[in-house]
Amino acid sequence: MSRYLIRRVLTALPTLLLISFVLYAVISLAPGDPLSQFAANPAVPPEVRENIRHSLGLDDPWPIRYVKWLVALAHGDWGYSFASRIPVWDLIKLRVPNTLAVVGVAYLFALIIAIPIGILSAVKQYSIFDHVATTLAFIGFSIPTFFTGLLLIIFLSVKLQWLPFIYDSTLQVRDLASLGAQIKQSIMPIVVLGLFQTATFVRYTRASMLENLPQDYVRTARAKGLAESIVINRHVVRNSLIPVVTLIALTAPTIFSGALITEQIFRVPGIGSLLITSIQNNDIPVIMAITFTFSFLVVVFNAVADMAYGVLDPRIRYD
Amino acid sequence: MATSVTAQNLVRAPATVDPTLRRPARSLWSDAFRQFRRHRLAMFGVFTFSLLLVATLLGPVIYRAPTDLIDYSAGLLSPSLEHPFGTDDLGRDLLARVLIGGRVSMAVGVAAVVIAITMGTLIGSVAGFFGGRIDTVLMRLTDLFLALPVLPLLLMVTYLFRDPMRKAFGPEVGIFILIVSVIGMLNWMPLSRLVRAAFLSIKQKEFVEAARCVGASNRRLMANHILPNTLSAVIVAATVGVGQAIITESSLSFLGLGFPPDVPTWGRLLYDAQNYLDLAPHWAIFPGLLIFLTVLSINYIGDGLRDALDPRKTQ
């Protein structure tokens, strides 16, 4: 296991290096100019603009800038945001709580709801419950988040006026009233994201359960005279959740990258919306930090998924 | 089995086949088709999708309301007989715009999938067939692409390269090429893994060995003997991929990073509509509903195909 871990890390490093290079190259080769905001501003004369360019280190050709970026990163320095002149990491730290409060909670809710539904739906295959659950899962999985978001706004905010449709991140939870306001403003974004996630997890759990139910070990357990609840909960569910755990590990990094679209619809100032504004401003250090951290998490969680698989399923060996 | 004498064989009367009972030979494809026909939701998908396809292809020919006639006196009208889907803030007829936009959305979906499928099949089959170092390199490449943040990268590339593409090919064609190729090139990885896995197992089979003995070239082995056996995976992936590509294009347009405002793709219409949700909810509901119906019907077709093409599921 530890040898496998070491090999995993050794192959991950060049992959990450290559990814960072590709990302940097794409951003730098694009024709946009990080200083274009100043170009349109008559109050900033060209000399000043050149000075700013120099101070941001934009004089160098991009491969040199990439190496500098990499060296700084090795020292734990993500650089400064071009647009807001504060360290990139401070900027990200500011946004992470909002993303976690919406995307993370939606993800958790989805898991808590989806796994029991998936299990029940498989155990009672072809029942009315199963039909309703699979149909809803299919719809939830086919409906784009921007459409659910707009529909909820039309019905719950515009028509019924129950919920606010703009997420106010300055709201501080101090008493019951502000807690209520926080819950109210979180409902719609969480439902939009949760619906999609739940649908995916339900489909996955159900399929995995259905694969396990007809197997010999289940028949053996029943033949031993075990109660049906024990057969399902102790034997089938445990085995069926192995691929679900892998799916969780593989999709967990998306919690960090935030939900680009949902954050945009409800104006949640999270990582996703930071990324969009950074792309529009050509703010290279911020774009690099977000996309690279995301890739890093993907690579790490991929390894975690593989390893979890080995721990949960002793039939799988690493060598 | 042929030599074993069972009770059944002894009892059975000598068989004379009634010629009216003789049926035409059944091929694997006709079996799959019969199976597919029985999948009710898949048939619903085929029906809905054909309807949408015909509507977007022929609709603009039959329904001749202008898509870009600006008439402020008719702005933000709710659906009526004159404007079945209502109008937008500039008084343009939404049904006409939705129909034209649908063409673009569908074209993007299909074209992006063609690129993704071609790349995925090519890379997967070469990696699986030749193995060794080629396989290692290609699979590393696949892993690399899988770890790339797809949606952010998509946003970046379309936002950053839209101006040069626009200059090179014109505003509409340039953006079309850009979006289609980027979506295609960021979505081939899962299929390439599937095809590779199928190639790895199929190339060991006897019929491949036999073909090789007869002197079939590598190209012939790959294209005529192994690839047809991976087709079911490719077909299912392609079907579901069209829906995913339509959603991706709509997401880009919804974030304002897709087609220019004068190309009313479904995502772009939603983007424009989101500031008028209180005055003109119909503006958002119709294009959104069409995206949803398209993707839902495509997913049902994919589901039906998956069941029909799975040899383990034939009864």
Write the single-letter amino acid at A62: W
Q: Say whether B255 and A260 touch across the interface (CB within 8 A).
A: yes
- Kindly report the nearest CA distance between residue B288 and chain A, in angstroms: 5
The H helix count followed by the E strand count for chain A is: 16, 0
Q: Best of B48, B76, B153 to disrupt the A interface by mutation (most A CBs within 10 Å)?
A: B153
Q: How far apart are CA A104 and CA A109, in angstroms?
A: 9
Q: Does the distance separating the beta carbons of B288 and A151 come in below 8 Å?
A: yes
How many whole angstroms separate alpha carbon B252 and alpha carbon B241?
16
pLDDT, residue B311, reads: 64
* Model pLDDT, residue B5: 47
Inter-chain touch B296–A143, beta carbons under 8 Å: yes
- CB contacts of A139 in chain B (<8 Å) are 296
Asked if the C-beta of B250 comes within 8 angstroms of chain A's C-beta atoms, the answer is yes
Evaluate whether A288 touches A26 at the Cβ level (below 8 Å): no
Q: Name which of B143, B251, B274 is nearest A150 (Cβ-Cβ).
A: B274
Q: Do A154 and B281 touch (CB under 8 A)?
A: yes
Q: Tell me which of B1 and A205 has the higher pLDDT.
A: A205
Q: At A22, list the tokens.
A: 């590709």
Q: A40 pLDDT band (50/70/90 cuts)?
A: low
Go through B52-82 and write b for each residue having 16 or more CB atoms within 10 A of its CB, e for each that does not: beebbeebbeeeebebeeeeeebbebeeeee
User: pLDDT digit string (tens) for A58-89?
Assistant: 777 788 888 888 888 888 778 878 777 788 88
Q: Which residue of A has its CA nearest to B277?
A: A154
Mind telling me how many Å the CA of B69 is from chain A's nearest CA? 26
H-helix or E-strand spanning residue A184? helix A176-212
Compute how many other C-beta atoms are within 10 angstroms of the C-beta atom of residue B229: 15
What is the per-residue pLDDT for A77? 79
Smallest Cβ–Cβ distance between B250 and the set A144, A264, A282 belongs to A144
Alpha carbon distances (Å) from A172 to A95, A168, A183: 15, 9, 12
User: Would you call A143 and B157 a contact, using CB atoms and an 8 Å cutoff?
Assistant: no
Q: Do B161 and A290 touch (CB under 8 A)?
A: no
Q: Which two tokens stand for residue B147?
A: 């770890």
pLDDT exceeds cutoff 80 at A104: yes
Pick from B255, B285, B296: CB nearest A276: B255
Residues B93/B69, Cβ–Cβ less than 8 Å: yes
Backbone angles phi, psi at B280, to 5 degrees: -140, 70
Q: What is the 3-state secondary structure (H, E, C) of B264-299?
A: CCHHHHHHHHHHHCCCCHHHHHHHHHHHHHHHHHHH
Q: How far apart are CA A132 and CA A129, in angstroms?
A: 5
Distance from CA of A48 to the nearest CA of B (A): 25
Q: Which pLDDT tens digit goes with each residue over B35-94?
A: 888 888 888 889 999 998 888 888 777 777 777 777 777 666 677 767 777 777 676 777
Q: Does the pLDDT at position B32 exceed 70?
A: yes
Nearest to B160 among A19, A32, A294 (CB): A32
Question: Rounded to an integer, what distance in angstroms lies between the CA atom of residue A95 and that of residue A102?
Answer: 11
- Which pTM value belongs to this model? 0.83
Contact (CB, 8 A) for B166 and B263: no
Residue A146 and residue B250: Cβ atoms within 8 Å? yes
Per-residue pLDDT band for B314 (boundaries 50, 70, 90) equals: very low
Residue A32: list chain B partners with CB under 8 A.
159-160
Q: What is the DSSP letter of B15?
A: P
With an 8 Å Cβ cutoff, are A143 and B160 in contact?
no
Interfacial residues of A (vs B; Cβ cutoff 8 Å): 15-16, 18-19, 22-23, 26-27, 30-32, 138-139, 141-144, 146-147, 150-151, 153-154, 157-158, 257, 260-261, 264-265, 275-276, 279-280, 282, 287, 290-291, 294-295, 298-299, 302
Lowest mean pLDDT among A222-231, B21-30, B101-110: B21-30
Which secondary structure element, helix H or strand E, spans residue A3, and what is its range? helix A2-29
CB contact under 8 A, B155 and A260: yes
Mean local confidence (pLDDT), A97-111: 88
Considering CB atoms only, which of B156, B157, B291 is closest to A144?
B291
CA B245 to chain centre: 7
- What average pLDDT does chain B have? 82
Q: What is the phi/psi pair of residue B265, to 5°? A: -70, 165
Distance separating alpha carbons of residues B92 and B81, to the nearest angstrom = 15
CA distances from B207 to A61, B213, B214, B234, B296 (A): 56, 10, 11, 21, 39
Rg (chain B; Cα; Å): 25
Instruction: Please write the tens of the pLDDT for every residue from B200-258.
Output: 888 888 998 999 999 888 888 888 888 888 888 888 888 888 998 998 888 888 888 87
Of A30, A275, A295, the CB nearest to B147: A295
Q: Give mean pLDDT, residues A173-177.
A: 76
Q: Among A94-103, A243-252, B82-91, B182-191, which is the least confidently predicted range?
A: B82-91
pLDDT tops 70 at residue B122:
yes
| DSSP tag of A76 | T
Residue B306, pLDDT score? 83
Q: Do A146 and B161 touch (CB under 8 A)?
A: no
Listed in sequence order, the residues at least 6 apart from A177 whose beta carbon sits closer than 8 Å to its beta carbon are: none
**Number of CB pairs, chain A paired with chain B, less than 8 A apart:** 122
Q: Given this model, what pLDDT does residue A317 score?
A: 66
Query: A227: distance to nearest CA of chain B, Å?
Result: 30
Amino acid letter, residue A208:
S
What percent of chain A has pLDDT above 90? 12
Q: Which residue in B144, B149, B243 is closest to A294 by CB distance?
A: B149
Task: Tell me how close the Cα of A298 comes to any Cα of chain B, in angstroms.
Answer: 6
pLDDT at B1 over 50: no
Q: What is the mean pLDDT of residues A95-114?
A: 88
- Each as own residue / partner, the long-range contacts of residues B38-43 (CB below 8 Å, 24 or more positions apart, any chain) are B39/B303, B39/B304, B39/B307, B39/B308, B41/B300, B41/B303, B41/B304, B42/B300, B42/B301, B42/B303, B42/B304, B42/B305, B42/B307, B42/B308, B43/B304
CA angle at residue B186 from B310 to B157, to 5 degrees?
Answer: 160
DSSP E strands: which ranges in A170-302? none
List the structure tokens of A311.
Answer: 């721990």
The shortest CB-CB distance from A19 to any of B148, B152, B281 is to B148
Of the candidates B108, B154, B79, B105, the residue with the CA atom closest to the CA atom of residue B270: B105
The torsion defined by the Cα of B284, A254, A20 and A94, in degrees rounded to 10, comes to 90
B296 contacts A150? CB cut-off 8 A: no
pLDDT at A185: 81
d(CA B241, CA B188): 10
pLDDT of residue B3: 46
Burial class (CB in 10 A: 0-12, 13-18, 19+), B27: exposed
Give me the pLDDT at residue B88, please.
72
Mutate to test the interface with A, among B98, B141, B155 (most CBs of A within 10 A): B155
- Residue B239 Cα distances to A217, B42, B120, B124, angstroms: 36, 12, 14, 18
Tell me if A15 sits within 8 A of A302, measured CB to CB.
no
Cβ contacts of B78 within 8 Å, gap of 6 or more: B86, B280, B282
Chain B hits for A15, CB-CB cut-off 8 Å, are: 140, 143-144, 147
Question: With 70 as the cut, is the pLDDT of residue B313 above it?
Answer: no
Q: A123 and A240 in contact (C-beta within 8 Å)? A: no
Residues of B in contact with A291 (CB under 8 A): 149, 152-153, 156
The pLDDT mean for chain A works out to: 83
B47 versus A173: the higher-pLDDT residue is: B47
∠ at Cα B73 (B68, B77), nearest 5°?
A: 80
In angstroms, the separation between the Cα of residue B155 and the nearest Cα of chain A is 8
